Structure 1
Amino acid sequence: MKTRSSNSLYSVFFLSLFLFHSCRSFDPLPYEPPPKPPLDGSYLTNTYLRSAELIAKGQVKGLESLDVDSSGNIYGGDRDGNIIRINPEGKFETVANTGGRPLGLQFDASGNLIIADAYKGLLSLEKNGNITVLSSGFEGVPFKFTDDIDIAKDGKIYFTDASVYEQKEYLLDLLESRPYGRLFVYDPKTKQTKLLLDGMYFANGVALSKNEDFILINETYQYKISRFWLKGKKAGTKEEFISNLPGFPDNITRNEKGEFWVALFTVRNDRMDKMHPSPFLKKLTSKLPRFLWPKPEPYGFAVQLDENGKVLSTLQDPGGEVLKEVTSVLEKKGYLYLGSLYSDRVGKLELKGK
């Protein structure tokens, strides 16, 4: 005789099957991940992130990406579509709502907050509080997953469309292992959007080099960062910048010295890596309820790179005791500001001595 709990489990399972077969065609490819690097040498385990100051703990809901204005106010977008401002005393307020899921954001030279909203596209929050849609699609097809941005000195906005799956379905992209990600540039002067690069494996964070001769793009689900040349003899070409990272690279930013900070959402998952070579196992997993999928390990991780892709340092929190699921790392005036897609806090860490 079936119990109520088993009936409930069956109901969840068949509902999951229905939802799966109701969505777009799912056809995973085999992927052979490189052996994950040990957490030693350049990636030696440490606990530096545990000394971070926690801002607005328990009061915010997943500020995935951050920027800081000239007055020291922290801005981020939460899971309810709110744009949150946190003042230097830790008090916060909602300044706007995009109606979607704001992810990457950055102030432009005019003081407008440019936002990559996963569902709404590329937006501009003006000083008067109005939100303008800058770009919502390409060649008549809406973006599916507008993810991260970086703004050049000439005002051009570089941004990614991570996947053909929406933000709420991003784990299907992980399982399918197909290169759906794209890199675009939007020119505010002409109001035109141009495709620069496609065929990337979940195109996530982007960051321009100090001289703006190249741009980096995180390809999250293949544990690598690619470089796309904008100027010089290699202009228009893509190459590997760093590969076989010890975790999933999310957003990436550049500091004033031209170095890069990469947020790793979590460390590599052995179960997922073993599953990747088998399309059958990945397709089977996609039909299961999400609580049966491989789970991310709680871990805080940030990696500092030079302009050649060399690892300069790492900041970690094994077990995620203070900070975990870090999705953005921003350096401003001797401090790192750390955001997260899911956490209820913002981290602030002084870099002196690190």
Structure 2
Amino acid sequence: MPTLGASRARARRAAGSVPPSPLPPLRVLRLPSAGPEDVVVDGTGRVLTGTADGRILRVTLPGQGRGGRVEELARTGGRPLGLEPLPDGRLLVCDAHRGLLCVAPEDGGAVEVLADAVAGEPLRFCSNASAAPDGTVYFTVSSRRYGLDDWRADIVEHVGTGRLLRLAPGGAPEVLLDGLHFANGAALAPDASYVTVAETGTRRLTRYWLTGPRAGRADPLVEDLPGFPDNLSRAADGTLWVALAGPREPLLEQLHRAPAAVRRAAAAAARRVRVPPRRVLRVMAFSPRGETVHDLARRGAGYRMVTSVSAHAGTLVLGSLVEPGIALCALPPARV
């Protein structure tokens, strides 16, 4: 199976001399349960998210009639992370404990397991998914070594056991890319020519080509992000939004260059000592060619560890692995 080293092309550098623009003030909508790790917008403009207790929730935003209304659509029996609405009203769910699921809100929240193993190996940490028009699903597994509760250990040990997988209609899951450093968000290109994967551990967006002369090969789309990329979302205009769950950590980068035994010891310590997230918010957006369209940041906002961002009708919707609700703010103009 291919690895990232199969092909490299010139990538955009995300960190430059231009400072980020201020992220507008946030309004937080509290939810019945905490940890809305991913936020997506359905065809009616309502926000879908999954929470730490296994619920899938639908939120009607302010200005949409019964603004602020929260409905429970389903319970997965695990820990839902990445979500992807399907054209028929169903919902793909990457569950960290149960694998790739399909939820039918109009059928009483029925939950179907689409994939919980690949080549006989359980999907330990299913993270995010993107669906192609033909029904093919591209999804990520963040780690083959650690589960969700120990995500910090994977980032610290830096061994690269993440994967990008494909599930064709009626088929079995297959591995497209191996050796990724904490594979996270996944998003198809507007023309479905490639799928982008966020590699949290290396602060880059990796592109896997699906069509054309580079099909089956991978290269970086954006490198040297100023923080750790998490979930990805594709806006209606083709813009790729990425949430940075935390800022760049120079000491961690030094640790990544240390011998494997040192990194293993540090990972064991990370499982015992939980460092609280820093109160720095940052989200970015890129064109299909990797050019920076938005770079927005805010310090001390009172909303920590943004793991997802979606743009809809002039509003940014933010989600977090740890916060008790979703956050909303105005979408500023794009960079000229």
TM-score above 0.5: yes
Q: Note if 1:133 corresponds to 2:113.
A: yes
Q: Please, which of 285, 298, 311 is the counterpart of residue 292 of structure 2? A: 311
* Unpaired runs of at least 5, structure 1: 1-36
Amino acid at match of 2:17: G
User: What are the within-5 Å matches in structure 2 for residues 31-110 of structure 1?
Assistant: 41-42=17-18, 44-49=19-24, 51-56=25-30, 59-88=32-61, 89-110=67-88
Q: How far apart, in 2, do the equivalents of 1:288 and 1:139 lie?
A: 32
Look up the match of 1:181: 162
CA contact (8 A) 1:285 1:293 kept: no
User: Is the alpha carbon distance of 1:246 and 1:236 closer, same or farther for their aligned partners in structure 2, counting shifts above 3 Å?
Assistant: same
Deviations 1:131-175 (A, max 9, x none): 001111111111011000111111211100111111112122112
Deviations 1:173-215 (A, max 9, x none): 1122112111111123x24322211111111101111000011
More divergent stretch after superposition (254-263 vs 219-228): 254-263
CA contact (8 A) 1:66 1:106 kept: no
Structure number with bigger Rg: 1
Q: Note if 1:111 corresponds to 2:92.
A: no
Q: How far apart, in 2, do the equivalents of 1:350 and 1:186 lie?
A: 36
Q: How far apart, in 1, do the equivalents of 2:15 and 2:32 lie?
A: 33
User: Is the alpha carbon distance of 1:268 and 1:333 closer, same or farther for their aligned partners in structure 2, counting shifts above 3 Å?
Assistant: same
* TM-fit CA distance, 1:265: 0.1
User: Is the alpha carbon distance of 1:38 and 1:150 closer, same or farther for their aligned partners in structure 2, counting shifts above 3 Å?
Assistant: closer
Q: Please, which of 119, 129, 135 is the counterpart of residue 155 of structure 1? A: 135
Q: What is the Cα-based RMSD across aligned positions, in Å? A: 2.1
Higher helix share: 1
User: Is the alpha carbon distance of 1:97 and 1:277 closer, same or farther for their aligned partners in structure 2, counting shifts above 3 Å?
Assistant: same
Q: How far apart, in 2, do the equivalents of 1:257 and 1:41 lie?
A: 27
Amino acid at match of 1:342: V
Q: How far apart, in 2, do the equivalents of 1:248 and 1:261 lie?
A: 13
User: What are the within-5 Å matches in structure 2 for residues 264-275 of structure 1?
Assistant: 264-275=244-255
CA contact (8 A) 1:271 1:294 kept: no
* TM-fit CA distance, 1:291: 6.4
User: Is the alpha carbon distance of 1:336 and 1:119 closer, same or farther for their aligned partners in structure 2, counting shifts above 3 Å?
Assistant: same
Amino acid at match of 1:196: L
CA contact (8 A) 2:14 2:292 kept: no
Q: Please, which of 223, 232, 236 is the counterpart of residue 216 of structure 2? A: 236
CA contact (8 A) 2:158 2:263 kept: no
Residue 192 of structure 1: SS of its match in structure 2? coil
* Unpaired runs of at least 5, structure 2: 1-12, 62-66
Q: Note if 1:285 corresponds to 2:258.
A: no
Q: How far apart, in 2, do the equivalents of 1:334 and 1:259 lie?
A: 13
Residue 233 of structure 1: SS of its match in structure 2? coil
Residue 263 of structure 2: SS of its match in structure 1? helix
Look up the match of 1:194: 174
* TM-fit CA distance, 1:342: 0.9
CA contact (8 A) 2:184 2:199 kept: yes
Look up the match of 2:122: 142
Deviations 1:289-325 (A, max 9, x none): 7564665422111011111212222111123x14321
CA contact (8 A) 1:251 1:262 kept: yes
